[in-house]
Amino acid sequence: MRLLITGASGLLGLNLALDAGQSHDVTGVDRSTLKTVPFKVIKADLLDPQAVGRVLESKPEAVIHCAALANVDACESDPELARRMNAELPYELADACLRRKIRLVHISTDAVFDGQMESYYTESDRPNPLGVYAQTKYAGEQAVLQVNPLAIVARVNFYGWSLSGRRSLAEFFVNNLSAGKTVNGFTDVIFCPMLVNHLGGVLLEMIEKGLHGLYHVVGPEAMSKYQFGVEIARKFGLKESLISPQSVDKSSLTARRSHNLWLSIHKLSTDLGHPLPIFSTGLQEFYTQYQRGYPQKIRSYQQP
C-alpha cells in the first residue's frame, strides 16, 4: 500500500512510518525536522496554500493524518493557530482525499470528553471538550466526518519513544526517575494508554479492513496516570517512591484536564474480530525497545 503520513516527525507519525515502511511504500510529510530516515519525505508546511494538493501528488492509496498542534497549553496561548491546524486543515485534507478517492485516517484525541462520566465513554456519547486543544480537535472530527463519511476518525491516547525523547508521558517518567528526580503522578486522571507501535498496527489493520467512521483506538485497560508511572518504574527497575500521588486540580498546568478518559473499545475490537493488545504486552515491548537501543535510534533521525 502506498501510504502518506503527515506529522512524520511526531511521536505517532515517526514510529508509524518506521514500522509501516517494513511492508508498505511510505512517504512522510515533515517541515524540516527529520534527517536520513528510511522512508521518503516531502518537506512541506501543511498550512501553506496549495500544500495539501502538492503532497497528494504522490498519489497515496491512504493518508494517516497525524499532524496537529498537540501541546495543550500552547493551544491555549494561540487558539487561532490551534483552530487552523486542528480543525481547518483536517477539513481541507478530508475533502481533498475524498475527491481523489484516497482513504483517510484522521487522528483525534480522547480529550474531547469532559471526564464527568462515572463509567466509560462509547462512540455514541456526546463530547464536551474543556480547553482549546480539545475544542479544536473535536471541531476537526466533525469537519472530517461531515465532508468525508468514508474517513476513519480515531480517538487515541498513546506512549512510546520520540524524536526529542520528551514527547510521551512514559518518557517523562523514565527520564526523571532514571535521574533520581521526584515527579508527580495524577491519581485522579484516568486514561487508557496504548503503545504507539501497537496503535500504528491497529490503524493499518483498520484501513485494510475497509472500516470507516468514528472509533476509540486506545488500550483496553483504564488506569490513573499515577498507576501508569508506577508500572513504568517497576518494569524499568526504578524507584516508584519518587512518584508523588497528586490531584491534577492542584497542579500548575494551564489548561483544564478531564478526570476520566476511560474509553470503550468494544466497537473496534468487534469490527476487527479480535481483542486489542493488553497494557502489559505494550509495556514489555516498550522496555524491550529500551534495552535494544531504540530510543537512541529514534533520536538519531533528528536534525542537529
CB 148, CB 90: distance < 8 Å: no
Does pLDDT of 66 surpass 80?
yes
- Low-confidence winner among 30-34, 190-194, 287-291 (lowest mean pLDDT): 30-34
Confidence of residue 107 (pLDDT cuts 50, 70, 90): very high
* Residue 252: per-residue pLDDT: 73
Helix (H) or strand (E) holding 290: helix 279-291
In a domain, 300, yes or no: no
Boundaries of domain holding 129: 2-164+193-221+263-280
d(CA 241, CA 231): 12
CB 227, CB 169: distance < 8 Å: no
CB 225, CB 185: distance < 8 Å: yes
Widest pairwise Cα distance in the chain: 55
Does pLDDT of 32 surpass 90?
no
In a domain, 236, yes or no: no
- Low-confidence winner among 118-127, 146-155, 254-263 (lowest mean pLDDT): 254-263
In a domain, 255, yes or no: no
CB 29, CB 67: distance < 8 Å: yes
Instruction: Give the pLDDT mean for 56-62.
Output: 96
What is the domain-level CATH number for residue 89?
Answer: 3.40.50.720
In a domain, 109, yes or no: yes
Residue 258's contacts (CB-CB under 8 Å, 6 or more residues apart) are: 111, 113, 114, 115, 130, 134, 189
Q: What is the mean pLDDT of the chain?
A: 96
For 123-160, write each residue's pLDDT tens digit. Answer: 999 999 999 999 999 999 999 999 999 999 999 999 99
Does pLDDT of 240 surpass 90?
yes
In a domain, 70, yes or no: yes
Instruction: Give the pLDDT mean for 66-81.
Output: 94
Does pLDDT of 177 surpass 90?
yes
Hunting for cell 533521525 — which residue is that? 301
* Residue 254: per-residue pLDDT: 67
* Residue 70: per-residue pLDDT: 92
* Residue 33: per-residue pLDDT: 83
The letter for the amino acid at 106 is H
Give the number of domains in the chain.
1
Confidence of residue 79 (pLDDT cuts 50, 70, 90): very high
Instruction: Give the pLDDT mean for 281-303.
Output: 96
* Residue 248: per-residue pLDDT: 86
d(CA 113, CA 115): 6
In a domain, 63, yes or no: yes
d(CA 30, CA 44): 6
In a domain, 248, yes or no: no
* Residue 249: per-residue pLDDT: 85
pTM comes to 0.96
* Residue 11: per-residue pLDDT: 97
In a domain, 241, yes or no: no
